[in-house]
Amino acid sequence: MKRNKKQRQSLLVETIKENPFITDEDLADKFSVSVQTIRLDRLELSIPELRERIKTVAEKNFEDEVVALPIEEVIGEIIDIELDNVAISIFDVKEEHVFKRNQIARGHHLFAQANSLAVAVINDDLALTAKANIHFTRSVKQGERVVCKAKVISIDNDRTKIEVISTVHNECVFKGEFDMYRSHQ
């Protein structure tokens, strides 16, 4: 469906608000316009490029909010966290994360991102993985960005259940349910 400039720009603002990590290429595909048109729209609307949007989110310091482990031990970059509720991180798959023969990410990196986010979302000094039920739904390639979302499902005494879903371009690549031990509430 062909939209006029005003409609497209309005939808562009909404789309970037929903997913600040969407690329200009993905926006161009979504709106059936050229990448240059998207860049001109962003410029006109004073929307920074992807790298700047990520940097802005990443500069928000979550160090004081994460209590279960040091922030530097989280695999990926936390971009949002609400303890005992939800957390989001991003992980860019680079050459050192993949098998050399096929550029597919090694599974332990995706698991580490999900598991460390499940630990980080817990509002306790101690959080350990008691059990994990995980499923890799598709392989992830070098150069892809994995967005991981952890959501607390339940808290019972010394246990917290957390659902974790990792996506690439809104396509699920990993999902898991983590049963986490916590020292107290």
Render pLDDT for 104-119 as a digit per residue (tens, 0 to 9): 999 999 999 999 999 9
* pLDDT average, residue stretch 36-52: 87
Q: Is the pTM of this model over 0.95?
A: no
Q: Give Cα 69 distance to the centre of its chain.
A: 19
Q: Which domains does the chain have, with CATH numbers?
A: 5-57 (1.10.10.10), 63-182 (3.10.129.10)
* pLDDT average, residue stretch 27-46: 91
DSSP H helix total and E strand total for the chain:
5, 6
R_g of the chain, CA atoms, integer Å:
18
Confidence of residue 55 (pLDDT cuts 50, 70, 90): low
* Cα angle 144, 22, 173; round to 5: 40
- Asked if residue 102 has pLDDT above 60, the reply is yes
Residue-wise burial string across 57-76, b where 16 or more C-beta atoms lie within 10 A, e elsewhere: beeeebeebbebeeeeebbb
